[in-house]
Amino acid sequence: MAEPPVRVLVLAPTPFFADRGCHVRILEEARAVIPCGVQLRLVTYHIGRDLPDFPIDRIASIPWYGKLEAGPSWHKPYLDLLLLFKALKVARSFKPHLIHAHIHEGAFIGAILKRLLRVPLLFDCQGSLTAEITDHGFVRPGSLLQRFFAQLERWINLSSDFIIASAGPTVDLLVRSGVARERVRPLMDGVDTETFAPHPKDAIRLRLGLPNDRPIVSYLGLLNSYQGVDLLLEAAALLKGQGAKLHFLIMGFPEGGYRDKAQALGISGMVTFTGRIPYAEAPLYLSAGDIAVSPKISLTEANGKLFNYIACGLPTVVFETPVNREILGDAALYAKFGDATELAGAIGRLAGDRELREELGRAGRARAESEHSWKARGRELAAIYRELMRQG
């Protein structure tokens, strides 16, 4: 006998959908659990792209706010207050069995909402709130504001009935902060290996005007210092100085001053910036590359782009971190954390060794297929929902 459907109210305090990592997790988790007997309503900000056959409810339009990229903002408090009211309105008709809240802001709203609705709260944690706003330069290390956010983060963590974390090191961080081990479980990102798969390179390279006589090094994601884009450009400059014949394909937004930085470093002729890439076209664009790179400078936060890289069969260069190692295992080349010289060395080594590129590409694709399927993640998440329902 089939189990009755689970109604889940999803809180996404972000401009969903905006073709970036956090949004991909939200979307793919939802797609993965719906076939498992789950009904969803997703409440999010007023901006972002609607998706066909996907249930999205948005807050009232705020004409002066249009920020799509990640990172903190002083506009967030009133946007999140509107999100709380919108979620409460949706819940009156939808009557959810539980709340699934993404990121700490969503869990803060969910902690209030669960008391009004008397339903359990699942917190989808993608890293440390305090570490993120400090890394983005929003607060100063050791400041009173940073200590306030650290206490707020701890309250949010302890107010959740259960937490899923996008990486194993985040679980350890949560337990050290006081969350009971039995109330938190890792649920890594995944990948649809049928959609993200190797594609022919010629057509997309021709469209982008990429050279055919040298390896293409690809990056796809947000463009900011937190993702290591500054270090990537510095590594490209080092490689040029060494006489390496490479081309860098940097895909994402906001481009900000990175074109200018490439010009200042004397590498603009070996870098192509594409701007925003629609998520649906990401497999095609990724397949233009011979090597993928993710120089993200976080020791605990998830790194979802890696799943897509390896599913497309791309040999990948990353910094040595617990999160990257957890995702990639031995199917990658690692550089010393935060070191542009080491990053350049790893990229240069792969560029000069076709056999190693092919070996790592095959190993990464096999790892994506065997260990990182969204279908398996969806079944696991649906089981967590049902267990929370029984407990609630």
Give the model confidence (pLDDT) of 51-96 as tens digits. Answer: 988 999 999 999 999 988 877 788 999 999 999 999 999 999 999 9
Whole-number Å distance between alpha carbons of 179 and 158: 6
Which residues lie across from 216 on neighbouring strands? 247
Q: Which DSSP state fits 258?
A: H
How does pLDDT run across 14-52, given as a tens digit for each residue?
Answer: 999 998 878 999 999 999 999 999 999 999 999 999 998
Whole-number Å distance between alpha carbons of 177 and 179: 6
pLDDT bucket at 136, cuts 50 / 70 / 90: low
Buried b (16+ CB within 10 A) or exposed e, 298-310: bbbbbbbbbbbbb
pLDDT bucket at 2, cuts 50 / 70 / 90: low
pLDDT at position 11, please? 98
Residue of 244, 219, 241 lying closest to 318 (CA atoms): 219
pLDDT at position 70, please? 73
Residue of 305, 301, 307, 349 lying closest to 321 (CA atoms): 301
Report, as an integer, the average pLDDT of 204-233: 95
CB 334 within 8 A of CB 161: no
pLDDT over 80 (residue 347): yes
pLDDT bucket at 142, cuts 50 / 70 / 90: confident
CB 348 within 8 A of CB 244: yes
pLDDT at position 247, please? 98
CB 231 within 8 A of CB 343: yes
pLDDT bucket at 392, cuts 50 / 70 / 90: low
Mean of per-residue pLDDT scores for the chain = 93
pLDDT at position 300, please? 76
What is the pTM assigned to this prediction? 0.83
pLDDT at position 58, please? 98
Whole-number Å distance between alpha carbons of 298 and 131: 9
